[in-house]
């Protein structure tokens, strides 16, 4: 195997770590992390922000040249590395934290922030001893697609390009403007929906928002098709079947209580009287939860060989790194000392044990000590799994929710045996899952960043420090966005379904209370198993079953636009690793623009204690508004296609 030669040689002295790069990274991290949190709460998916952050960092540092002088490629890399930590925080938080509020526990902002900091710090620290093996020795084996793509972007942009950054800002502006017109002014509806004529209670629809189209373009046609396939199973097959087969049956008592809490007319007593949305709320939601849980567990089980191998590597690295890291290595080989890893992990364990407010104010010290040990063990296991998985398939496909489910099942069963089944036990178990989920998520992210640094010739130690600063620095702002979104819209609502968090709550309730409808869960699990047998990825399909169809269709449409562009210009490289496609940058801007304005609207709604509505247009007849919404959405899709096609044509 030929020795890797970095873009910046190891003996080159070049400015990299500086206050301007770290501060810019924290600011960008807060922006993109908040947008990713909004996206995840809506559709249960987050995306890697590495590439747009690399582009935006180059552009902003170039603008700041008159004030601070010309920035180097290594400075741009530090800014991107610092900022990308926030996206991982968002992933871990939105998969778990909303469940606390669904239980009626009003988690303080300080507690959420401390959970984020603990998870972020553990994720970065546990990755340090693994870098030499996973990033360096496996350089030819593990491609780390986003990390490799970010390196290509930084090399191209700092070498004189960087014009593509315009598309990120353009997309951000379009996403924000579009969202303001449908969420502030209500000029046209945000959803197009029709009842199918031949199938009773079968409904299809499209959420006409730019962020979901952007997600679909980034993920590609295959994932979008799988997700919308799951949605069609729910809304065109299962809901009509339940209405037809069980229409005369009385609604289950627990389901009836739940639906009445969501505004169901008390006069409605049978399944056939329910609307498609109410059938989804009462029945399909639980089937979908079973599908997602099974898909997550399947994904983790398939990763067991990876986990075992990575654990062996991790233990070996922990034993040998102390001597290796102090042996006068080249600049490009210097990691943070292993003593800081051990010190940092010890501090987190002590903080969780002796500060009650981190995992719950009502916990006793024995529960907190057990929780701290469980966090350290599960986090180390899943950090190694996460890093290897994203090395092969990328950050956006990292099954962190599946890892969180396995953590919750393990902790929940132990808590059940110990008799810790009250609300305090549930909150404690969930906060353990939160820290583990964040650690696994951020490990995948820093792996991509370290790959970028390895390719361009960065100093690993400075990257690791910047990732720690990014996680700690942006934690409050990402948590603040989630906090205000929950206050404004409520978690588990149509505006913020928070699918993974609702699933985590369902899992813990089922394990600790024993009141879950396991028959419906089993039906959902069977769907995932059957889908896996057809060699279809079960996790995106299960998410499609679990979520409203109108949130999946724009993802599919975005994937179709991507396919059309790739087919026309004979490109078959799906996912975020395709750097010659400005559609990815524009789509990332759509997500950031809509997400940021969504957070702003949430803050305003909390301040004025109502949903801000101005200049609302009531179309008569109602279908006219849906035509307007569909036409504007089509225009947005055409623009995305044109931008992507133009960049592909230029590349060809």
- Residues 14-37 have pLDDT tens digits of 888 888 999 999 998 888 888 888
pLDDT tier at 633, thresholds 50, 70, 90: very high
pLDDT tier at 318, thresholds 50, 70, 90: low
Element holding 483 (H helix, E strand): helix 460-489
Residue 562 has pLDDT above 70, yes or no: yes
Cα separation, 415 vs 258, whole angstroms: 26
Q: Which of 72-86, 183-197, 347-361, 622-636 has the lowest mean pLDDT?
A: 183-197
pLDDT of residue 634: 94
**Residue 607 within a domain:** no
**Residue 418 within a domain:** yes
pLDDT tier at 410, thresholds 50, 70, 90: confident
**Residue 329 within a domain:** no
**Residue 82 within a domain:** yes
Cα separation, 488 vs 375, whole angstroms: 31
Cα separation, 239 vs 232, whole angstroms: 10
Stretch 488-513: mean pLDDT:
78
Stretch 466-472: mean pLDDT:
91
DSSP state of 237: I
Residues 6+ apart with CB under 8 A from 308: none
Number of structural domains found in the chain: 1
Q: Beta strand pairing status for 203-207 and 191-195?
A: antiparallel
**Residue 240 within a domain:** no
CA 36 to each of CA 44, 218, 313, 405, 559: distance values in angstroms, whole numbers, following the listed order:
10, 14, 32, 21, 19
Terminal-residue alpha carbon distance, the chain: 31
Exposed, middle or buried by CB within 10 Å (0-12, 13-18, 19+), for 267? exposed
User: For residues 300 and 622, which has the higher predicted lDDT (pLDDT)?
Assistant: 622
Q: What is the secondary structure of 383-439 as a DSSP string?
A: HHHHHHHHHHH-GGG--HHHHHHHHHHHHHHHHHHHT--SHHHHHHHHHHHHHHHHH
Stretch 269-290: mean pLDDT:
83
Residues belonging to the chain:
652
**Residue 547 within a domain:** no
How much of the chain exceeds pLDDT 70, in percent? 85
Stretch 502-512: mean pLDDT:
77
Stretch 230-257: mean pLDDT:
85
DSSP state of 578: -
Stretch 436-463: mean pLDDT:
88
Cα separation, 373 vs 361, whole angstroms: 18
pLDDT tens digit sequence for 593-629: 777 777 677 667 667 656 667 777 777 787 888 898 9
User: For residues 111 and 43, which has the higher predicted lDDT (pLDDT)?
Assistant: 111
Stretch 49-78: mean pLDDT:
84
Residue linked to tokens 């990120």:
168
Q: Which of 92-101, 425-434, 501-510 has the lowest mean pLDDT?
A: 501-510
Q: Are 449 and 393 in contact (CB under 8 A)?
A: no
- Domain residues for the domain of 378 are 19-169+300-324+346-499
**Residue 337 within a domain:** no
CA neighbours closer than 13 Å in the CB half-sphere of residue 475: 24
pLDDT of residue 294: 80
pLDDT tens digit sequence for 181-221: 887 777 888 888 888 887 888 888 888 888 888 878 877 78
pLDDT of residue 573: 54
**Residue 186 within a domain:** no
Stretch 449-472: mean pLDDT:
90
pLDDT tier at 121, thresholds 50, 70, 90: very high
Mean pLDDT over the full length of the chain: 81
Cis amide leading into 621 (omega within 30): yes
């Amino acid at each position: 195997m030929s020795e890797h030669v970095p873009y910046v040689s190891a003996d080159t002295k070049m400015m990299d770590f500086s206050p301007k790069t770290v501060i810019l990274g924290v600011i960008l991290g807060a922006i993109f992390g908040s947008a990713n949190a909004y996206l995840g709460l809506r559709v249960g998916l987050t995306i890697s922000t590495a590439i747009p952050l690399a582009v935006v960092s180059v552009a902003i540092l170039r603008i700041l040249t008159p004030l601070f002088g010309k920035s180097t490629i290594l400075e741009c890399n530090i800014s991107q590395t610092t900022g990308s930590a926030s996206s991982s925080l968002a992933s871990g938080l939105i998969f778990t934290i909303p469940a606390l509020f669904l239980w009626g526990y009003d988690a303080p902002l300080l507690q959420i922030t401390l959970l984020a900091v603990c998870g972020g710090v553990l994720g970065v620290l546990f990755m340090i001893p693994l870098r030499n093996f996973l990033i360096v020795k496996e350089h030819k084996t593990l491609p780390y697609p986003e990390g490799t793509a970010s390196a290509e972007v930084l090399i191209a942009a700092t070498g004189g390009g960087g014009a593509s950054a315009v598309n990120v800002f353009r997309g951000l502006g379009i996403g924000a403007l579009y969202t303001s017109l449908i969420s502030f002014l209500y000029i046209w509806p945000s959803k197009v929906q029709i009842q199918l004529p031949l199938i009773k209670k079968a409904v299809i629809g499209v959420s006409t928002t730019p962020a979901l189209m952007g997600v679909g373009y980034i993920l590609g046609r295959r994932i979008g098709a799988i997700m919308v396939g799951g949605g069609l199973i729910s809304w065109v097959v299962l809901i009509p079947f339940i209405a037809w087969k069980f229409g005369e049956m009385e609604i289950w008592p627990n389901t009836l209580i739940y639906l009445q809490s969501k505004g169901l007319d008390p006069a409605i007593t049978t399944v056939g009287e329910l609307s498609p949305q109410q059938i989804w709320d009462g029945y399909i939601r639980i089937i979908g939860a079973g599908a997602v849980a099974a898909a997550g567990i399947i994904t983790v089980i398939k990763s067991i060989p990876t986990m075992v191998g990575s654990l062996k590597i991790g233990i070996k690295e922990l034993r040998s790194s102390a001597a290796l890291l102090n042996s006068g290595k080249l600049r490009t080989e210097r990691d943070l000392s292993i003593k800081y890893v051990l010190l940092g992990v010890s501090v987190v364990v002590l903080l969780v044990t002796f500060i009650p407010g981190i995992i719950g104010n009502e916990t006793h010290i024995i529960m907190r000590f057990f929780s701290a040990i469980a966090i350290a063990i599960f986090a180390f296991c899943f950090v190694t799994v996460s890093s290897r998985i994203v090395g092969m398939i990328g950050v956006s496909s990292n099954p962190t929710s599946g890892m969180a489910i396995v953590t919750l099942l393990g902790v929940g069963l132990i808590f059940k045996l110990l008799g810790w089944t009250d609300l305090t036990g549930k909150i404690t178990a969930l906060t353990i899952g939160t820290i583990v989920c964040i650690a696994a998520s951020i490990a995948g992210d820093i792996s991509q960043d370290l790959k970028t640094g390895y390719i361009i010739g960065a100093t690993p130690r400075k990257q690791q420090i910047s990732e720690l600063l990014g996680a700690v620095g942006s934690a409050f702002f990402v948590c603040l966005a989630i906090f205000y979104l929950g206050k404004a819209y409520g978690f588990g609502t149509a505006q913020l379904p928070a699918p993974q968090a609702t699933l985590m709550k369902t899992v813990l309730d089922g394990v600790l209370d024993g009141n879950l409808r396991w028959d419906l869960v089993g039906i959902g699990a069977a769907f995932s198993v059957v889908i896996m047998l057809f060699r279809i990825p079960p996790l995106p399909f299960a998410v499609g079953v679990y979520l409203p169809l109108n949130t999946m269709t724009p993802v599919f449409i975005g994937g179709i636009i991507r396919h059309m562009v790739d087919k026309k210009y004979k490109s078959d490289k799906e996912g975020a690793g395709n750097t010659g496609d400005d559609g990815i940058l524009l789509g990332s801007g759509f997500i950031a623009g809509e997400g940021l304005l969504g957070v702003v609207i949430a803050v305003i709604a909390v301040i004025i204690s109502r949903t801000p509505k101005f200049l609302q247009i009531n179309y008569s007849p109602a279908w006219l508004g849906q035509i307007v919404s569909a036409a504007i959405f089509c225009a947005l899709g055409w623009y995305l296609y044109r931008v992507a096609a133009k960049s592909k044509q230029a590349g060809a």
